[in-house]
């Protein structure tokens, strides 16, 4: 997942024409990324340490016989974890009998983001997750209850498509029965944010909970229009 250095945040927001606040706007649906926003997003270092290989070797061993990245296939559900590790074992010469993506994945939740999500939900807005992930990580998050704050999870390995493809965003608004202009999307990858914005979403390029909290400080939820409820940090 592409990370954005904090000192470049203002420049990127300007480039993407992201407004510094959403004062006066009304939203029905909030869409949060998972890895890099609510949770940490990788166990690559743990796997490399366990296997005694470098990060460069890890990415090399993911390639199949024609050079395709099998992790990408795993993340859209076109191969199974067993197929992934069979290919990895063949390339590395290391016999791997367990799913290391599950065994060595230790996600940590950012409670400050969880707090913001729960505050949004109290206004009556629907909050969902759109995540590029694999079956092993998805199931571990489920086991730990890490998705419990969301009303629904749109996962790439189930949907068969991943961000930044416009298709995943189109399918979400179709399934949620909302207009693109009624959606506020939060992600830490500028590519995903740009595509969502081009489709008409309001967007936030995530850098920190503090900046997100500030950008949310003036929003109102469409479902609360009648009684004037607002998010209050």
The structure tokens listed for 151 are: 């009303």
pLDDT digits (tens, 9 = 90+) for 6-56: 433 433 343 344 333 333 457 789 999 999 999 987 899 999 999 999 999
Distance CA 195, CA 201 (A): 9
Kindly list the structural domains of the chain, giving each domain's residue range(s) and its CATH number in brackets, ordered by start: 6-40+107-224 (3.40.50.1000), 44-103 (no CATH)
- Euclidean distance between the first and the last CA atom of the chain, given in angstroms as a whole number: 28
pLDDT given for residue 222 in this prediction? 62
Distance CA 54, CA 153 (A): 33
The structure tokens listed for 174 are: 């179709």
DSSP annotation of 35 reads: B
- pTM > 0.75: yes
Give the residue, 225 or 172, on which the prediction is more confident.
172
Torsion of CA 155, 157, 161, 166, to 10 degrees: 20
Torsion of CA 209, 213, 219, 223, to 10 degrees: 60
pLDDT given for residue 44 in this prediction? 95
């Amino acid at each position: 997942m592409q990370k954005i250095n904090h000192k470049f945040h203002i420049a990127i927001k300007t480039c993407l024409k992201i407004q510094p606040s959403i004062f006066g706007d009304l939203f029905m649906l909030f869409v949060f990324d998972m890895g890099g926003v609510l949770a940490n997003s990788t166990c690559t270092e743990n796997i490399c340490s366990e296997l005694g290989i470098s990060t460069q070797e890890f990415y090399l061993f993911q390639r199949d016989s024609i050079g395709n990245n099998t992790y990408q296939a795993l993340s859209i559900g076109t191969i199974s974890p067993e197929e992934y590790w069979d290919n990895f074992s063949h390339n590395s010469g290391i016999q791997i009998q367990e799913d290391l993506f599950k065994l060595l994945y230790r996600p940590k939740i950012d409670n400050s983001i969880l707090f913001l999500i729960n505050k949004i939900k109290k206004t009556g807005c629907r909050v969902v997750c759109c995540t590029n992930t694999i079956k092993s990580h998805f199931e571990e998050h489920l086991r730990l209850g890490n998705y419990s704050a969301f009303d629904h999870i749109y996962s790439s390995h189930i949907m068969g498509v991943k961000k930044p493809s416009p298709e995943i965003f189109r399918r979400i608004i179709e399934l949620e029965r909302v207009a693109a202009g009624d959606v506020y999307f939060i992600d830490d990858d500028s590519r995903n944010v740009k595509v969502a914005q081009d489709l008409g979403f309001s967007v936030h390029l995530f850098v920190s909970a503090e900046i997100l909290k500030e950008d949310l400080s003036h929003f109102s939820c469409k479902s609360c229009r009648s009684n004037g409820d607002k998010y209050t940090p």
